[in-house]
Structure 1
Amino acid sequence: MPADHPERILIHHLLLAPDLAPLAVTTNPLALAFRMHIEACRPDHLRARFHIGPEFTQGNSVVQGGILAAMLDFGMVFAAFTRTDTGHTLASITQTTNFLRPALAGDFIVEAEVERAGRLLIHTRATLSAADGKPVATASSPIALIPLPHGN
């Protein structure tokens, strides 16, 4: 029997029971640090909320760009998991991120979607907005679909 990815399992539970949202993501230490919650999940789409504290800011109180990129990556990978079968994991191949304005610590929303999915690649895009609803960054990424080794 193939192994399975815990985040793929989480996403597929939400696809079957969307009323479970908002749901805290506890499968990943970085998601825990970002206080990630999935607010909505449907095929090809995911909306997640994050709370980024001051420990993720630079000296000027602006959230570090890599943290913004990480939230976008979470959104795109989790959206791609809506198209993933049991026994597979995902890996971002590359990510193009556009920073639109400075972001201060606080709440953020990522809206991510699958643009198209093939046998080996899932193409995604996402927008990250601050609590005021204004976009702070956008990204796109091709994500590789990788079979997991068989478990016991």
Structure 2
Amino acid sequence: MKNKEQIIAESNQHSPKFIRLMGGKLVDVDTEKCACTFEFDIGTDYCHSIDIVQGGFVTAMLDAAMSHAMFLHDPDIVGLSSLEIKTSYLEPTRAGKLRVEGWAIKQGYKIVFMEGHVYNEDGILTATASTVSKISRAPAG
């Protein structure tokens, strides 16, 4: 079985390009709790109003953290399709270093309910998300 450091290194090596473009990397994982944490270093290219991260990018970061929590928890999962995602913007999320956490709150065989949080450099919660996703699994055999 792989240790935490191996899981993090492999995940970062094979992360989707959009995560790398937004300065993202996996920094922590708890496969038993089905949770993970990313750090993003967002530049102003992803902002409106000078330094406020556009909401779609905030949602993308949250979605990445939530889905990676599932992928890292269960290697048989090959895909997640969002059935519903809700993002709540509590404070402006400004360009800079962000911590994004994602975790599963209830998982079935075909459906999973997940939540996520975005924190700024000062540890202030700026956005939350909840999602319901359909799980696609590798064929048995």
| Aligned-CA RMSD value | 2.1
Structure 1 counterpart of 2:115: 125
Percent of aligned pairs sharing the same letter? 23
Relative to structure 1, is the Cα distance of residues 82 and 22 closer, same or farther in structure 2, using a 3 angstrom cutoff?
closer
Structure 2 counterpart of 1:58: 48
Q: Any conservation in 1 of the 2:88–2:128 contact (CA below 8 Å)?
A: yes
Structure 1 or 2: larger strand share?
A: 2
TM-score normalized with structure 2 length = 0.86
Deviation at 1:92, TM superposition (A): 1.7
Relative to structure 1, is the Cα distance of residues 110 and 25 closer, same or farther in structure 2, using a 3 angstrom cutoff?
farther
**In the aligned structure 2, how far is the partner of 1:74 from the partner of 1:82?**
12
Structure 2 counterpart of 1:34: 22
**In the aligned structure 2, how far is the partner of 1:87 from the partner of 1:52?**
29
Unpaired runs of 5+ in structure 2?
Answer: none
Q: Any conservation in 1 of the 2:98–2:121 contact (CA below 8 Å)?
A: yes
**In the aligned structure 1, how far is the partner of 2:72 from the partner of 2:8?**
16
Q: Deviations over 1:11-43 (max 9, x none)?
A: xxxx82213476435431101101211111112
SS state at 1:82 partner: helix
TM-score normalized with structure 1 length = 0.80
Deviation at 1:111, TM superposition (A): 1.4
Matched pairs, number: 136
Deviation at 1:145, TM superposition (A): 0.6
Q: Could you tell me which amino acid in structure 1 is paired with residue 3 of structure 2? A: A
